[in-house]
């Protein structure tokens, strides 16, 4: 099977990615403490920066700096260097017939913190104590503890508002209108500018992420529908990624930018959605874009109804993409449901040898084999002022030593040892 971009186009993109990566922009004057991409590896102050980390989207929303500090210090002690979190939370105060998108009821619980509100088609950025000032405290604590943050700027899904809040307020009908209707794109740019310019001088920022899991479609119940036919494809998505990436880099020339995708490939003739570009993904083309410093991919075989063997190959295929295009690829989210929740939600069980520790340990081994940094979903911690952090069935609690010892502590030692050899 050939790549859908066409052999000549892909060859050109790959040549551009190798010969003149965007990671070189401003490299000679990059401030101390700002990570960057160099070939297929990340670097920090001239040294290799292969890392393991985690996802903790809830850090800004618990509205408790002491608890955030405990979480970050715990992650650092466990050997983690990067945490990914949400730099968005949109509230729609205008009544929308049908009530889309259906946000609210998120796992972290109700929170007074939000970053942008909409009323009668107009957005208001919240700069107050329950707005970006709450994010200020998270960034400051990251600076103090040495944690680097990946900051996602919006969400494909309804949780915390995301793309569809922009779209419904500005007259859009479809989920993918977010990527190409000018007034919607410009509204998102306004928010992006407010956030990126606010933290562009902070060494705590690892990278800006355009969106969490951008797709042509989202949840068919809680989100707007996808437009009919082939209107949304990798052509539309890649154009949006390039435009937004360039926009972020115009504001902040020193921090990296990525798109936050799940890693969907586009092979002509493929029947598997994850390799057929069904939701607008074209991993090789996206990774090769000058505006992108590195690529991302996610893995959830429970939700995607995939086998463990398929999952292992998914990791290998992204490792090969890193080697081929000589740009870093981050294994940014991966999770495997605990048995009780798998049975309750999916009425499914796994073979006795397919435990969470066994399965995820192999994923981590494969990721490290290809020298890809990784971040599991999601970071869990008990002993906070409100008890334990949110559990969505994938959470790995550091307090649960049966899982955390091999999957967090021992894995971090392996990754950090490998980093020293690069």
- Told to judge if 291 belongs to the known catalytic residues of this protein, a careful annotator would answer no
d(CA 245, CA 17): 15
Which of 106, 209, 213, 371 is catalytic? The answer is: 213
Which of 332, 333, 371, 403 is catalytic? The answer is: 333
Query: Minimal CA–CA distance to 242: which of 77, 65, 13, 413?
Result: 13
- Told to judge if 362 belongs to the known catalytic residues of this protein, a careful annotator would answer no
Query: Minimal CA–CA distance to 38: which of 66, 10, 17?
Result: 17
Residues designated as active site: 213, 333
């Amino acid at each position: 099977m050939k790549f859908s971009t066409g052999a000549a186009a892909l060859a050109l993109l790959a040549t551009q990615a190798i010969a003149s990566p965007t990671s070189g922009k401003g490299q000679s004057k990059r401030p101390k403490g700002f990570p960057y991409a160099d070939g297929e590896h990340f670097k920090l102050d001239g040294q290799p920066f292969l890392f393991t980390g985690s996802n903790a989207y809830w850090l800004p929303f618990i509205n408790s700096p002491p608890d955030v500090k405990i979480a970050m210090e715990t992650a650092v002690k466990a050997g983690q260097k990067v945490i990914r979190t949400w730099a968005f939370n949109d509230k729609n105060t205008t009544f929308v017939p049908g009530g889309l998108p259906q946000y609210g009821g998120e796992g972290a619980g109700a929170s007074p913190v939000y970053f942008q509100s909409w009323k009668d088609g107009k957005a208001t950025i919240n700069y107050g104590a329950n707005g970006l000032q709450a994010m200020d405290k998270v960034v400051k604590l990251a600076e103090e503890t040495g944690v680097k943050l990946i900051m996602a700027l919006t969400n494909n899904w309804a949780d915390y508002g995301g793309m569809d809040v922009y779209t419904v307020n500005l007259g859009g009908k479809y989920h993918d209108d977010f990527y190409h209707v000018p007034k919607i794109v410009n509204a998102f740019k306004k928010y992006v500018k407010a956030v990126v310019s606010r933290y562009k001088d902070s060494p705590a920022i690892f990278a800006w992420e355009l969106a969490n899991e951008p797709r042509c479609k989202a949840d068919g119940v809680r989100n707007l529908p996808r437009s009919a036919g082939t209107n949304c494809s990798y052509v539309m998505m890649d154009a949006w990624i390039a435009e937004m990436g360039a926009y972020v880099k115009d504001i902040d020339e020193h921090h990296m930018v990525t798109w936050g995708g799940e890693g969907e490939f586009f092979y002509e003739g493929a029947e598997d959605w994850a390799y057929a570009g069904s939701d607008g993904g074209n991993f090789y083309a996206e990774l090769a874009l000058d505006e992108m410093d590195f690529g991302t991919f996610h893995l959830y075989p429970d939700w995607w109804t995939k086998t463990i063997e398929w999952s292992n190959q998914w990791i290998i295929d992204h490792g090969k993409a890193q080697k081929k295009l000589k740009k870093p690829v981050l294994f940014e989210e991966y999770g495997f449901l605990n048995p009780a929740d798998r049975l309750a939600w999916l009425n499914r069980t796994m073979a006795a040898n397919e435990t969470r520790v066994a399965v995820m340990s192999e994923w981590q081994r494969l990721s490290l084999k290809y020298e890809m940094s990784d971040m599991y979903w999601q970071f869990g911690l008990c002993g906070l002022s409100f008890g334990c952090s949110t559990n969505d069935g994938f959470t790995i609690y550091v307090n649960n030593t049966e899982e955390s010892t091999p999957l967090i502590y021992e894995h971090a030692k392996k990754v950090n040892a490998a980093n020293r050899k690069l």
